[in-house]
Chains A and B, each alone.
Chain A
Amino acid sequence: MGYDLRPDLTWPEIAMLMLVVAVMFADMILRPERRGLLFGLSAAGLVAIGLGMVLSPHGVGTAFHGAHMADGFSWLVKIFMTCVLLTVILVTWPFLDRLRSVVGTHLILVLASGLGMMALASSNSLIVMFIALELATIPLMILTALGRGDSQAHEAGLKFLIFGAVASAFTIFGIALVWGYSGGLMNLTDLRGVVAAGGAGLPMTIGVVMLFAGLAFKTAIAPFHVWVPDVYQGAPTPITAFLAGGSKAAGFTALLRVAVALFAPGEGEAIIDWPLALAILAGLTAVLGNMAAIWQTDLKRLLAHASVGHAGFLLMGMAVIGTAGGLLGLSALAYYLVFYAAAVALVFFCMGLVSRAGGGDLLSDFEGLGRRSPAIAAAMLVGVLSMGGIPPLAGFTGKILILAATVKGELIWLTFIAGFAMVLSIVYMLMILRALYLLPPREGAVTGARLGRWEGAALIILSLLLIVFGAVPGPVLDPIREAMQAMAGLSPTEIMVAATGG
């Protein structure tokens, strides 16, 4: 029996692994004062992988005997992940001086975590999903504790570690039950057939619930979100951006694959009404997150609570699976995720620039930024407006698409809850705007944070992304919809046919 490696499908992960190793060696060879080159190497590698994926036609099929699934969806997610990794490296740039000797370690861990997230997008086997999840999470724990070297970061690292370890214990126990009680099936495409035939008994359902709990931790869905504010606040700013953008997106792609395979209503009587459970959790998460954000004084903590709220909106897109709004919901989810990550990158990059100039992370540290550093404040304004859902920015378009999906899926009560959460999110957005533009600068506040040429270009590109694709969502939404249709619509036999090339 061969290894079924299929390099035409798995090359993005293989290339990513080689990039990690290359950076590792370069870190050993380069002299300490030339470690800035590592940024160039990582960025060039990521650009090459990203461009390669954009330009080459994506293959459809499975590798490693069904454990690795390449389809349009996973291809899009991986392109998105390379963009996220690039922005994380970009956001790390202002901290170059502060990181000093650990620059190499930092980049290796970021890239390794990214590799885990890419593998997660393609995982069709539950055990591969678990390994990819751990590969994505464990480096993040180190990065959280390592970056700033103060007691806050260490405390955040410990909390992340404890919650993360418990979540992975839940995940693997759930996987064990699903595997055992389905008669030894590990691949989601096979399990989907078992569930659709009504073969999910009580032990298997318990397994699915535990698996869901583990993934809900990763994606910060209430009530598994309690770790988020502490970890986001304590982690260094670039890593907070990575957690909020990349890690959450990776968790949602895994959740999406699990949802399509295991949450769909089968022929028999299901023990749990998954769509309803997801809808309730989504509403709860959106309201709790946005409500808590209003009371914060630390900007990072505020954004952490806001990101919980965003997770609620994303989960709403998933709750309409299996209804008339299913396809729209999944497409809206992906669209929302992409531009949420862009807005997060923009805001955290601005925070990083202010922090480099000596500013803090408290909301009061940003008072009067519009007068002190107009360019940075303007970029931050775009990011915050998008998060708050103001037209024509992409954040607004995403929220409207989610609302439309809940209406189409006939979950009108959820639409109202989403509307309420949107109002709450406008409140915290106004709080940030008030600090940026209406309040005078405090005594001794940092003025004129430096802005390099490349940094300015990055701010403009990210802002334009949010504005242009918010007003004209078509070019992004259409490929997403196609990929989603292919992923959610294919039955196991159709995937087998696609895999054998018939």
Chain B
Amino acid sequence: MITEITTTHWIVLAAVLFGIGLLGVLARRNALVILLSVELMLNAANLVFVALGHHLGDVQGQVIAMVVMAIAAAEATVGLAVIVLVSRTCRTLNPDELTELKG
């Protein structure tokens, strides 16, 4: 029986989130959902920063989490723009059906 939530629990939770995200990237067949899964992975990293920052009593962890959020937003912006382009020209968002480039 868990009586107290320790830092280890947070780290395990973050690892599980990261795993779910990675599974989503590998298994889902829609570029938008893949992008969502990547966001989950990035936020798992944020959870590690915040949890360990709290554990160490170091405010740097929370600051970095904010920075990572900003970068993730930048990445998502570009991602959505590219997805719009692809959906217009290729008429599909399924990476398996995008097979013009191969050799």
Interface residue ranges, A against B (CB under 8 Å): 127, 130-131, 134, 138, 141-142, 145, 150-152, 154-159, 161-162, 165-166, 168-170, 172-173, 175-177, 179-181, 183-184, 186, 203, 229-230, 233-234, 295-298, 301
**CB < 8 Å: which of B58, B89, B102 contacts A230?**
B102
A-B contact pairs, 30 of them (CB 8 A): A142-B81, A142-B82, A145-B82, A154-B82, A154-B85, A158-B98, A162-B25, A162-B38, A162-B95, A165-B38, A166-B38, A168-B42, A168-B75, A169-B18, A169-B45, A172-B68, A173-B18, A175-B45, A176-B48, A176-B49, A180-B49, A180-B52, A181-B52, A184-B52, A184-B53, A184-B56, A184-B60, A203-B11, A295-B103, A298-B103
**Would A154 and B89 count as touching, CB distance under 8 A?**
yes
B61 to chain A, nearest CB (A): 7
Kindly report which residue of chain A lies nearest to residue B85, judged by CB atoms.
A154
**Would A134 and B74 count as touching, CB distance under 8 A?**
yes
A177 to chain B, nearest CB (A): 6
B residues within 8 A CB of A230?
Answer: 101-102
**Would B45 and A150 count as touching, CB distance under 8 A?**
no
**Would A127 and B67 count as touching, CB distance under 8 A?**
yes
**Would A158 and B83 count as touching, CB distance under 8 A?**
yes
B-side interface residues, number (CB < 8 Å): 46
Within 8 A of A (CB), among B44-103: 44-46, 48-49, 51-53, 55-56, 58, 60-61, 64, 67-68, 71, 74-75, 78-79, 81-83, 85-86, 89-90, 95, 98, 100-103
**Which of A130, A145, A158, A175: most chain B Cβ within 10 A?**
A158
A157 to chain B, nearest CB (A): 5
Kindly report which residue of chain B lies nearest to residue A163, judged by CB atoms.
B25
Kindly report which residue of chain B lies nearest to residue A155, judged by CB atoms.
B98
**Which of A127, A141, A165, A179: most chain B Cβ within 10 A?**
A165
Kindly report which residue of chain B lies nearest to residue A302, judged by CB atoms.
B103
B residues within 8 A CB of A301?
Answer: 103
B residues within 8 A CB of A166?
Answer: 22, 25, 38, 41
B55 to chain A, nearest CB (A): 7
B20 within 8 A of partner (CB): no
B residues within 8 A CB of A176?
Answer: 45-46, 48-49, 52, 64
B52 to chain A, nearest CB (A): 3
A residues within 8 A CB of B45?
Answer: 169, 172-173, 175-176
**Would B90 and A151 count as touching, CB distance under 8 A?**
yes
**Would B49 and A179 count as touching, CB distance under 8 A?**
yes
**Would B95 and A296 count as touching, CB distance under 8 A?**
no
Kindly report which residue of chain B lies nearest to residue A156, judged by CB atoms.
B101
**Which of A142, A169, A203, A301: most chain B Cβ within 10 A?**
A169
Task: Give the 7 A-B residue pairs with the shortest CB-CB distance, closest first.
Answer: A180-B52, A169-B41, A176-B48, A173-B45, A151-B89, A172-B45, A165-B38
**Would B100 and A169 count as touching, CB distance under 8 A?**
no
Kindly report which residue of chain B lies nearest to residue A144, judged by CB atoms.
B82
**Would B38 and A141 count as touching, CB distance under 8 A?**
no
A173-B18, A180-B52 given; name 14 further pairs at CB < 8 Å: A134-B71, A154-B85, A154-B90, A157-B86, A165-B75, A165-B79, A166-B38, A172-B42, A173-B14, A180-B53, A184-B53, A233-B103, A234-B100, A296-B103
Q: Within the assembled complex, what's the spacing in Å between the Cα atoms of A145 and B61?
A: 34
**Would B78 and A234 count as touching, CB distance under 8 A?**
no
A residues within 8 A CB of B35?
Answer: 162, 165
A residues within 8 A CB of B55?
Answer: 180
A residues within 8 A CB of B85?
Answer: 145, 154, 157
A191 to chain B, nearest CB (A): 14
Given contacts A138-B75, A158-B98, contact A180 B89 (CB under 8 A): no
**Would B52 and A162 count as touching, CB distance under 8 A?**
no
**Would A138 and B74 count as touching, CB distance under 8 A?**
yes
Q: Within the assembled complex, what's the spacing in Å between the Cα atoms of A256 and B82?
A: 32
**CB < 8 Å: which of A127, A157, A169 contacts B64?**
A127
B45 to chain A, nearest CB (A): 4
Kindly report which residue of chain A lies nearest to residue B87, judged by CB atoms.
A154
**Would A180 and B48 count as touching, CB distance under 8 A?**
yes
